[in-house]
Amino acid sequence: MPSDLRQHGYNPWLPFKTLLFKEVRRFFRVVSQTVVTPIITASLYLFIFGATLGERISVLEGFNYAQFVVPGLILMGVINNSFSNCASSLFMSRYLGNIVDLLVTPVTPPQFIMAYTLAAMIRGLMVGTIVCLVSLFFAQLPWAHPFAVIGMAALTSFLFAQLGLLAAIYSNSFDSLSMFTNFLILPLIYLGGVFYPISLLPYPWSTLSHLNPIFYLIDGFRHALIGVGDLPLWLSFTVAGGMSLAAFTWAAILIGKGYRLRN
């Protein structure tokens, strides 16, 4: 940090901490929308598949359906909330014009990305954790690889925070923003093996499902949680890590250039 800045009383971490604090405060101010609603949705799924249908369906030997579906539901909460926190916050700032409040400040592009990302991860992982706690009423989870569970949840959250930033930057309207959720993320989640094992699908759908990036995340998370998956854990982590790196680089380049943020 240049000495002139220090003389000015500038604390290099403060812009980042303030932006992170503001982003976390933002979703807590509307906690019923941002945290309670996704937990209720996930709880309904848990009730339907855990307490009612769960006992009559078996898709994986040695596990009941609730045990199979819970990892996917947890990760679905992480994905949706990490994505929508970044997407809605940044898009609203662009839409309402108050993004200029940040653009005129010394917040650097890396601080900008990391503050938005961490806030999204806090929300995503918080929702995931609560869904996980609620799921204890419906299924017993073996926690086969606990560190891998945390790692995959964090990596997924990070990845979807980046995708949320990208969606907010590329969207021109609320419609186009919701298209990312409704026509891309939601179908990929549902087709990514939340409710069924991909190996049960007939050819060519089982093969095509391997092109769905969310499949690697869900399968990896389930594998870490219950100890069984369609893919080896290292492959899921490699794909998740690669996608995260690519999305982060993409978002960093756009935000660094001020693409669609600065005129």
Partner 1 sequence: MQKPALTISHLAKSYGSTDAVKSISFEIETGEIFGLLGPNGAGKSTTINMISGVTRIDSGAVEVFGYDNQTDYRMTRCLCGVMHQEIVIDNFFTIDKALRLHAGYYGVADDPEWRNMLIDRLGLREHLHKVMLKLSGGLKRRFMIAKALIHKPKLLILDEPTAGVDVELRLTLWDFVREINRQGTTVLLTTHYLEEAEQMCNRVAIMNHGQLVALDTTVALLKKLGSRMVTTHLATPLQDLPPELKSFKPRLKNGGNDITFSLTENQTSVDLLDTVRGLDIAVTDVETRQSNLEDIFLRLTGSNDKERTNAL
Query: Footprint of partner 1 on this chain (CB under 8 A)?
Result: 2, 4-5, 8-12, 14-15, 17-19, 21-22, 25-26, 29, 93, 96-98, 100-108, 258, 262-263
Q: Which is nearer to partner 1, 30 or 48 (CB)?
A: 30
Two structure tokens written together for 106: 């010394």
Please provide the DSSP assignment of 61-117 as one string. Answer: TTB-HHHHHHHHHHHHHHHHHHHHHHHHHHHHHHHHSTTHHHHTS---HHHHHHHHH
Task: Name the residue with tokens 């799921």.
Answer: 135
Three-state SS string across 119-157, please? HHHHHHHHHHHHHHHHHCCCCCCCCCCHHHHHHHHHHHH
Q: Which is nearer to partner 1, 98 or 173 (CB)?
A: 98
Instruction: Give least dist CB 89 to partner 1, A.
Output: 10
Other residues' Cβ atoms within 10 Å of the Cβ of residue 187: 12
Instruction: Give least dist CB 27 to partner 1, A.
Output: 10
Instruction: Give least dist CB 121 to partner 1, A.
Output: 20
Q: Which is nearer to partner 1, 103 or 252 (CB)?
A: 103
CA angle 58/146/86 to nearest 5° reads 90
Report the distance separating Cα 229 and Cα 60, nearest Å.
10
Q: Which is nearer to partner 1, 5 or 51 (CB)?
A: 5
Residues 6+ apart with CB under 8 A from 263: none
Instruction: Give least dist CB 186 to partner 1, A.
Output: 27
Instruction: Give least dist CB 262 to partner 1, A.
Output: 5
Q: Which is nearer to partner 1, 55 or 101 (CB)?
A: 101
Instruction: Give least dist CB 219 to partner 1, A.
Output: 38
Instruction: Give least dist CB 8 to partner 1, A.
Output: 5
| Share of the chain residues as helix, strand and coil, in percent rounded to the nearest 5 | 75, 0, 25
Two structure tokens written together for 21: 């604090």
Task: Name the residue with tokens 């901490």.
Answer: 17
Q: Which is nearer to partner 1, 142 or 258 (CB)?
A: 258
Nearest by Cα to 122 from 211, 188, 25, 222: 25
Q: Which is nearer to partner 1, 114 or 201 (CB)?
A: 114
